[in-house]
Amino acid sequence: MKILVAIAFILIIGSLGSALVFLMRDKGRSNRTVQALALRVGFSVLLFVLLLVAYRLGWIQPTGIIY
What was the pLDDT predicted at 28?
73
What gap in Å lies between CA 50 and CA 45, rounded to an integer? 8
Angle between helices 2-26 and 32-57 (to 10 degrees): 170
List per-block mean pLDDT (blocks of 10 residues) for the chain, which spans 67 residues: 90 92 85 91 94 92 76
What was the pLDDT predicted at 1?
81
What gap in Å lies between CA 10 and CA 6, rounded to an integer? 6
Q: Please answer whether residues 58 and 1 qualify as being in contact, where contact means their C-beta atoms are separated by less than 8 angstroms.
A: no
What was the pLDDT predicted at 65?
74
What is the reported pTM? 0.77
